Structure 1
């Protein structure tokens, strides 16, 4: 698996790639118009054909495993038409879900494209990777959360490549092996710790859209509590169970530079958060609507500033991004879009089957329902189910927050906590695949061996946390 942030192929883009890129940009623009309420009607006549065509083009270029999800989406759509009365709104919602996921991915990719060209970002990552053992875990975990906002999964690629390069300079094989594993786990856990609270994570964007009465602003504080538990528990286990070496390590030189190297990253993140909060107070729009527009604008401004460093002009950068970089994510885009589509179409097909089986979620103890997401999402991840698919499929079956006697924010925190644990343990997620590739072990080894005891601790702690939120705090 490649470890570079850039996925730009050397050859010129094909006609198919150009069409895919143009359609993804079109879908993003349509979703911005919809979310900003700039067009009241008629968007579906453009959105549905655009989503259909881009999926058809993507299906010609992706691996058979990704094509299976496209075929499954088609089969479930036919079953929906056959079995469910009033299927039209459900199918339209599925197209909206797939389109939103494509637009959200494309918007985040603009910032990733700008960040991968910035020397200051790489310098900050290198400084974190070279920290001494006493503070390296926390540095990489907290830094990984900051990088995740800019780079998404690219944060693991960047920090993972820098960490393994730093560890490779260690001549002692025993120390090098332990150092590589500990740094990679810190980076992975830092990334997943951002999922419960980041306004630019799919977990927040999708879950707040599925649970009525919630928004990023209403869940961010308890979600930061989830992130703190993920971070501090990992740091505590790393410190308590520090590997015992057969001989004392040689003294290490202090890393070059200072914490001032983190300033550009922190300033950028501060600008992003402040601009989103100000716009939300002025417009009252959902946070995801703001992200769809603010992030590409910030990326464009950043690319303009980078021209001073000898990078290509904005027009060339935009052309490369649209027709080369975006289509290069064809596998990820196909999987994510189909996960949202299948979950939306599959939920009304699953509900009658659940009732016919005699299982009634509303009859379960409310506390059990609240905790179940923390456990079910990672469990389904072991079976290969993407968290987007799992959440969109199961969330409609959950009793309303009023029936459970809890605030709806507690349900969101429970779902996003399970989403984060799925990212730690599932051998099918990008996080474990990337970490495994850097550590030269399988993704299943990362999820079950490297993170096994950590997962047990987190399942128990986060179960207690969501119960406390549901019945004591919120």
Structure 2
């Protein structure tokens, strides 16, 4: 009985062991560290396999099948398999780091205060407040930002608050839901801590996050302004006296912005001082900042430094904390693993020659990669998988007359557009559950015009980027 309990506790710490081994390997180059991370990851996958979502289970099945086929048919399979496992460990560590940050954020009173102040702004300012707020919260909370804002919208948008007017309540719900969805969707274009940036920078090491900003930020800003204009154009006029009510201060949002900036600067500080890439710096900064944030919260409760109580909380809740993102861990890490196994099977020179002869080069290649990602998203393939495979298999973009930054931002834009249009994504499924409507209805009836206007806008900015950076 004691041994069984001990095994369960060890299983709870499989992911922390994987994180520790991965960081020791990446940062310090400790020789035995990968042999801590790899077995720990495998234990974690075995324990979590039956709890995965359908898409994650399919990715894990393909990864396992690919590993078996590689072991059977490759002349020297072990270096390839170990490289794939190391990539899996890297992305698993990244997602687990975000889980720790989310735990600290969801326990913070500041988060609740900032969210409340955003929800209760006057109608003319509610869209930019909600949209920018969800983008900001999404940097720290990831998908948890939708849970937080969705619950607040449900609680705040009652028939009583609309003066008994069901039409007004429904219109206000639609506007707030779309502001939340669109704001969260542009996170891949704006967040240095996001999954999209880590995937792209890991597969395109010649790039850095600041190199992407001259193209990514204008796209994000134009999408934000377009959404705000559509909200004004499509929305009903406010009821008399609605704007006269006192609105909560946005100071909590300002304080939360400082937290986000602090975490981001910590990642850049580690990157600069340690001469390491931003993705690796994020793996260090996120858990450290999460622990400090938890410690400050626990210190406020009972005095003292709070570190002991923060540590006790993480140890006690380890099984819950590190299981929360299991499907995302498998989809992200499994896609990277599959990409490593597939890459040697592709003749890059032959693919390069075919792309050149087909006319798919320059801006056309970037737009095609973006549209392919969007199409696969409509068929149920998560952008994590399609973007990982595209970046792993494509030849050097510069050899095909394409600026690498343009390709990267095109894929980031596809990630953004997929989140707000594919009825299979977790984002749309969560949003449709909050408003009790079909994801197809939200994606194409509510958001279809915005999506249609965004596509040419994105292509236009990519064209300018190709022209001025090429």
Q: TM-score, normalised by structure 1?
A: 0.88
Partner of 1:360: 354
Q: CA deviation at 1:200?
A: 0.9
Match of 2:294 among 299, 303, 309: 303
Q: CA deviation at 1:230?
A: 2.2
Partner of 1:10: none
Indicate how the Cα distance of structure 1 residues 15 and 148 shifts in structure 2: closer, same or farther if over 3 A, else same. Answer: farther
> Deviations 1:110-156 (Å, cap 9, x if unpaired)?
11101111111111001101111101111111111110111011111
Q: What is the CA–CA distance in structure 2 between the aligned matches of 1:100 and 1:359, rounded to whole Å?
A: 33
Partner of 1:231: 224
Indicate how the Cα distance of structure 1 residues 353 and 285 shifts in structure 2: closer, same or farther if over 3 A, else same. Answer: closer
> Deviations 1:198-249 (Å, cap 9, x if unpaired)?
111110001111124112232234222222122122112222222479xx56
Partner of 1:175: 168
Match of 1:452 among 448, 455, 462: 448
Find out whether 1:415 has 2:408 as its counterpart.
no
Do the aligned residues in 1 keep the contact of 2:340 with 2:392 (CA within 8 Å)? no
Match of 1:150 among 140, 143, 168: 140
With 74-83 and 259-268 compared, the bigger mean Cα shift is at 74-83
Q: What is the CA–CA distance in structure 2 between the aligned matches of 1:440 and 1:148, rounded to whole Å?
A: 22
Give SS of 1:324's match: helix
Structure 2 gaps, min length 5? none
Partner of 2:248: 257
Do the aligned residues in 1 keep the contact of 2:361 with 2:401 (CA within 8 Å)? no
Q: CA deviation at 1:26?
A: 1.1
Give SS of 1:131's match: coil
Q: What is the CA–CA distance in structure 1 between the aligned matches of 2:270 and 2:81, rounded to whole Å?
A: 32
Match of 1:206 among 191, 199, 209: 199
Q: CA deviation at 1:354?
A: 12
Indicate how the Cα distance of structure 1 residues 362 and 93 shifts in structure 2: closer, same or farther if over 3 A, else same. Answer: farther
Match of 1:436 among 429, 432, 444: 432
Indicate how the Cα distance of structure 1 residues 381 and 348 shifts in structure 2: closer, same or farther if over 3 A, else same. Answer: farther
Q: CA deviation at 1:296?
A: 1.2
> Deviations 1:418-439 (Å, cap 9, x if unpaired)?
1111111111211111111111
Q: What is the CA–CA distance in structure 1 between the aligned matches of 2:452 and 2:7, rounded to whole Å?
A: 46
> Deviations 1:275-298 (Å, cap 9, x if unpaired)?
223332222211111111111111
Partner of 1:241: 234
Give SS of 1:112's match: helix
State how many pairs are aligned: 457
Partner of 1:193: 186
Partner of 1:6: none
Q: What is the CA–CA distance in structure 1 between the aligned matches of 2:116 and 2:404, rounded to whole Å?
A: 41
Match of 2:423 among 427, 430, 454: 427
Q: CA deviation at 1:183?
A: 0.7
Structure 1 gaps, min length 5? 1-12
Q: What is the CA–CA distance in structure 2 between the aligned matches of 1:327 and 1:19, rounded to whole Å?
A: 14
Indicate how the Cα distance of structure 1 residues 454 and 46 shifts in structure 2: closer, same or farther if over 3 A, else same. Answer: same
Partner of 1:217: 210
Indicate how the Cα distance of structure 1 residues 320 and 230 shifts in structure 2: closer, same or farther if over 3 A, else same. Answer: farther
Q: What is the CA–CA distance in structure 1 between the aligned matches of 2:415 and 2:423, rounded to whole Å?
A: 14
Q: What is the CA–CA distance in structure 1 between the aligned matches of 2:55 and 2:190, rounded to whole Å?
A: 31
Q: What is the CA–CA distance in structure 2 between the aligned matches of 1:454 and 1:122, rounded to whole Å?
A: 29
Give SS of 1:360's match: helix
Indicate how the Cα distance of structure 1 residues 20 and 201 shifts in structure 2: closer, same or farther if over 3 A, else same. Answer: farther
Equivalent residue runs for 1:48-63 within 5 Å: 48-62=38-52
Find out whether 1:277 has 2:271 as its counterpart.
no
Q: What is the CA–CA distance in structure 1 between the aligned matches of 2:288 and 2:222, rounded to whole Å?
A: 33
Partner of 2:314: 318
Q: What is the CA–CA distance in structure 1 between the aligned matches of 2:424 and 2:245, rounded to whole Å?
A: 37
Q: What is the CA–CA distance in structure 2 between the aligned matches of 1:106 and 1:112, rounded to whole Å?
A: 10
Partner of 1:27: 18
Q: What is the CA–CA distance in structure 2 between the aligned matches of 1:106 and 1:241, rounded to whole Å?
A: 40
Do the aligned residues in 2 keep the contact of 1:90 with 1:345 (CA within 8 Å)? yes
Q: What is the CA–CA distance in structure 1 between the aligned matches of 2:7 and 2:456, rounded to whole Å?
A: 48
Partner of 1:125: 115
Q: What is the CA–CA distance in structure 1 between the aligned matches of 2:435 and 2:10, rounded to whole Å?
A: 37
Q: CA deviation at 1:83?
A: 5.0
Do the aligned residues in 2 keep the contact of 1:214 with 1:409 (CA within 8 Å)? yes
Find out whether 1:104 has 2:94 as its counterpart.
yes
Q: CA deviation at 1:64?
A: 5.6
Do the aligned residues in 1 keep the contact of 2:268 with 2:281 (CA within 8 Å)? no
Partner of 2:257: 266
Indicate how the Cα distance of structure 1 residues 92 and 448 shifts in structure 2: closer, same or farther if over 3 A, else same. Answer: farther
Do the aligned residues in 2 keep the contact of 1:196 with 1:227 (CA within 8 Å)? yes
Q: TM-score, normalised by structure 2?
A: 0.89
